[in-house]
Amino acid sequence: MDHPLHLVDASVFVFRAWFSIPDSVADGDGRPAHAVFGFGNFLCDLLERERPRRLAVAFDQSLGSCFRNELYAPYKANRPPAPADLERQLRLCRELVEAMGIATLASDRFEADDLIGSAARLGARRVYLTSDKDLTQLVEPGDFWWDPGRGRRLDADGVTGHLGVPPGGVADLLALAGDSIDNIPGVPGVGRKSAATLLAALENLEGVYLGLERIPGLGLRGARRIRGLLEAHREQAFLCRELTRIRRDVPLPWGPDALRRPPLESTAADAVALPVQLRSRLRRMAEQGV
């Protein structure tokens, strides 16, 4: 049986736990461990319910040092620095993943999305666990983009229905419409709906610029204005695609064998500072052979 490769965008689930779980949840030394607790339980749920045979978890540690900042200095500059305690708990989450024997990825130069996109080459079918719309561009037939916390699971057709473009057009869509979350400007005055209409008719960013004269005939509201905006911001549009397009060629520190998840060991995470409830759950899962 061809088991899918599960690829986890860790930061999504760490941040979700940080904001949703009270910081009264502590480790054995009394330090806040609510993000670790939430992320650890997410991982346990995944292992118990899905029983993934092949699994990797990617962490973001390149804020400010990513290659995209070299292309465009304001990239993600709208994000405040993470609080020191969140940084500490992020490190603990990574230690936990490593202690569980799960393949782990992090880089100062590449983002988790790029690491996931590159690891995806090692699987014929992939499940991307995230809430980040950027990762929808990786979805191919047989794959799923899955946000278990919100109960949303999209295949390639689902991505098209949700965003108005197929997975292969997501980077172009964001390059045109911009992405305020990542501080990517796009083409000012071109919204998500107009961008999707342009791409549906003209296929991709190159096609949009080769077909500028066709835009007035596409039935877009303000079509002549949009054509003028595209002409005025051509260079910016292509720069933005360099920011929105996920890299798939990042060298990985290990090969396919590292993706095979070993059974949990009851003492594997003993050296990691965890809430007692999470430690007990891990030991129980190890005894059950998860």
Residue 188 pLDDT: 96
pLDDT exceeds cutoff 80 at 1: no
Confidence of residue 46 (pLDDT cuts 50, 70, 90): very high
pLDDT cut 90: percent of the chain above it:
94
Sheet holding 5-9: strands in order across? 103-105, 54-58, 5-9, 126-129, 144-147, 152-154
Bridge partner residues of 57 (DSSP): 8, 104
CATH topology of domain 167-244: DNA polymerase; domain 1 (1.10.150)
Residue 255 pLDDT: 92
Stretch 201-221: mean pLDDT, rounded?
Answer: 95
Query: Could you tell me how far CA 44 lies from the centroid of its own chain?
Result: 20
Residue 62 pLDDT: 85
Half-sphere exposure at residue 119, Cβ-oriented, CA atoms within 13 angstroms: 33
pLDDT exceeds cutoff 60 at 211: yes
Tokens 């965890």 appear where? 274
Residue 64 pLDDT: 84
What CATH number is given for 5-163+247-287 in this structure? 3.40.50.1010
Summarize pLDDT for 52-111 with one digit per residue, the tens.
999 999 999 988 899 999 999 999 999 988 999 999 999 999 999 999 999 999 999 999
pLDDT exceeds cutoff 60 at 257: yes
Helix (H) or strand (E) holding 160: helix 156-163
Do 211 and 202 contact (CB within 8 A), yes or no?
yes
Half-sphere exposure at residue 262, Cβ-oriented, CA atoms within 13 angstroms: 13
Model confidence, pTM: 0.96
Do 260 and 200 contact (CB within 8 A), yes or no?
no
Residue 2 pLDDT: 74
Residue 203 pLDDT: 96
Q: Show me where the domains of the chain are located.
A: 5-163+247-287, 167-244
Confidence of residue 115 (pLDDT cuts 50, 70, 90): very high
Which tokens belong to 9?
Answer: 């965008």
